[in-house]
């Protein structure tokens, strides 16, 4: 068991170390809330909760007292625990298999927090079935090595963790401050799988100046697929299969596709529908293990605007991200995808700014190439926008910025 379970900030934790640490955890108490940013400690605590079958709530370690209260968490109850039940107590000398977890986790539930990109963050709970239903445990996956490129307290990170853990894979932390070290980590640990947001790839590719042929799988998720990135990703990871996954904290993983289109599995076609406004709705029966969701006549509104093709859907934008400009509903991701074609634009975010005449005006925050003059890039963006966009979509204000806002989960923050 000297195989690496997880590498974090230069520290390698083996599976043997994990088993030893699990055996020493909380001899008499299991903590219900776990507030931390350390991925090894978070996953160790999740595994402990699985083995002993108790509920757990994972909380970002940097949330303030006021933020916790706003989310309905009593700050004084963070140390809440459940007393150890003797008949549940287990000597930990080996790690559970996925089939064992399904049979012993009758009470287990994990509560996570949404990122807040679509309004006030929500607390969403899932039972074990929501995670294990999509895990592939085969000999073919036994040697996978994962670059961990998500916040470990959020749904996408938890899903990657379970896929790796139940195959006894190695997990190489490459999120947050470790992101710029991805190139070194790819070579040192021979990473084979990466799952991340388009924002992560866009920011990280600037640090990668060679190709990495050992990477077999690159997965996009968490945001609208960025087709302009695909060419760069293929150059950087020439032997990889590129997939796009539709998932959320509320629904878990639902659709998989290649490129911008998601395949609608025949088994779940009747459990999905699109409203007249283009919003995707999911039947409550697909929200396995999920609680605290509001549904309308058994249908849960995802807040995602999509277009439907032949057994395929294409994600357009979040309903909450549409910008009302003089009565026109503007999709900011459409503008971003067009303006990234401007020479000298490394990245940008389109957002709305309140205007008393038109409700909002379009604002572009742009990261430019270091060798391009600020005035030149502003004029280039404005000219390109007028040539390729309708007038109400043209940015009225263009700001040159050093970095773009991101949520705790690594998504773009408008």
Domain end marker among 308, 335, 355: 308
**Domain presence at residue 248:** yes
pLDDT tens profile 193-202 = 999 999 899 8
Query: Are 193 and 304 in a shared domain?
Result: yes
Q: Number of folded domains in the chain? A: 2
**Domain presence at residue 297:** yes
Query: Beta-carbon neighbour count of residue 176 at 10 Å?
Result: 16
pLDDT at 46: 92
Q: Tell me the H-state helices in 97-170.
A: 98-104, 129-132, 155-165
Q: Both tokens of residue 83?
A: 């007393």
pLDDT at 129: 83
Query: Are 123 and 13 in a shared domain?
Result: yes
pLDDT at 239: 97
pLDDT at 52: 84
Please name the helix (run of DSSP H) or strand (run of DSSP E) that holds residue 124, with its range, or none. Answer: strand 123-126
pLDDT at 14: 96
pLDDT at 383: 96
Which of 151, 197, 188 lies closest to 170 in space, CA to CA? 188
Domain end marker among 242, 273, 308: 308
- Domain interval for residue 369: 322-400
pLDDT at 87: 43
**Domain presence at residue 405:** no
**Domain presence at residue 266:** yes
**Domain presence at residue 315:** no
**Domain presence at residue 376:** yes
pLDDT at 295: 52
**Domain presence at residue 132:** yes
Give the separation between CA 263 and CA 256, rounded to whole angstroms.
6
pLDDT at 326: 86
Query: Are 168 and 287 in a shared domain?
Result: yes
Query: Are 34 and 162 in a shared domain?
Result: yes
pLDDT at 116: 60
pLDDT at 92: 66
Query: Which residues are CB-contacts of 97 (< 8 A; sequence separation ≥ 6)?
Result: 137, 166
Query: Are 348 and 283 in a shared domain?
Result: no
pLDDT at 363: 95
pLDDT tens profile 144-183 = 999 999 999 888 899 999 999 999 999 999 998 888 899 9
**Domain presence at residue 411:** no
CATH number, residue 336: 3.30.300.30
CATH number, residue 172: 3.40.50.12780
Query: Are 91 and 127 in a shared domain?
Result: yes
Domain end marker among 308, 338, 357: 308
Report pTM: 0.82
Query: Are 273 and 178 in a shared domain?
Result: yes
pLDDT at 345: 93
Query: Are 178 and 129 in a shared domain?
Result: yes
Query: Are 278 and 243 in a shared domain?
Result: yes
- Low-confidence stretches of the chain (pLDDT beneath 70): 1, 26-31, 74-93, 115-120, 288-296, 408-409
pLDDT at 27: 53
Which of 228, 184, 218 lies closest to 334 in space, CA to CA? 228
Query: Are 94 and 21 in a shared domain?
Result: yes
Which of 353, 379, 351, 354 lies closest to 365 in space, CA to CA? 351
């Amino acid at each position: 068991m000297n195989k690496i379970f997880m590498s974090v900030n230069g520290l390698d934790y083996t599976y043997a170390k994990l088993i030893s640490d699990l055996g020493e955890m909380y001899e008499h108490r299991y903590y219900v809330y776990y507030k931390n940013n350390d991925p090894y400690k978070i996953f160790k605590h999740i595994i402990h909760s699985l083995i002993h079958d108790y509920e757990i709530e994972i909380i970002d370690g940097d949330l303030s007292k006021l933020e916790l209260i706003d989310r309905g968490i009593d700050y004084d109850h963070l140390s809440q625990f459940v007393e150890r039940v003797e008949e549940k107590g287990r000597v930990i000398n080996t790690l559970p298999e996925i089939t064992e977890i399904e049979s012993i986790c009758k009470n287990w539930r994990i509560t996570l927090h949404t990122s807040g990109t679509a309004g006030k963050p929500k607390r969403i709970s899932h039972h074990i079935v929501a995670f294990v239903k999509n895990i592939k445990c085969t000999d073919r996956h036994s040697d996978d090595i994962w670059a961990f490129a998500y916040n470990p307290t959020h749904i996408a990170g938890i899903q990657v963790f379970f896929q790796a853990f139940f195959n006894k894979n190695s997990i190489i932390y490459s999120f947050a401050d470790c992101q710029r070290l991805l190139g070194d980590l790819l070579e040192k640990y021979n990473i084979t799988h990466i799952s991340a947001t388009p924002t992560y790839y866009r920011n990280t590719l600037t640090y990668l100046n060679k190709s990495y042929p050992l990477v077999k799988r690159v997965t996009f998720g968490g945001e609208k697929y960025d087709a302009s990135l695909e060419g760069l990703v293929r150059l950087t990871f020439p032997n990889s299969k590129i997939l796009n996954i539709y998932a959320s904290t509320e629904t878990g993983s639902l659709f998989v596709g290649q490129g911008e289109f998601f395949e609608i599995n025949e088994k779940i076609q009747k459990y999905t529908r699109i409203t007249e406004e283009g919003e995707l709705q999911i039947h409550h029966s697909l929200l396995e293990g999920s609680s605290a969701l509001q549904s309308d006549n058994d249908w849960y509104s995802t807040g995602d605007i999509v277009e439907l093709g032949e057994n395929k859907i294409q994600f357009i934008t979040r309903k909450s991200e549409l910008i009302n400009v003089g009565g026109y509903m503007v999709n900011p991701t459409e503008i971003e995808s067009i303006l990234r074609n401007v020479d000298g634009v490394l990245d940008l975010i389109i957002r709305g700014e309140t205007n008393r005449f038109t409700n909002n005006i379009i604002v572009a925050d742009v990261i430019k190439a270091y060798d391009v003059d600020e005035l030149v890039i502003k004029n280039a963006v404005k000219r390109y926008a007028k040539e390729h966009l309708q007038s109400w979509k043209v940015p009225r204000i263009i700001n040159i910025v050093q970095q773009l806002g991101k949520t705790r989960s690594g998504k773009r923050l408008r």
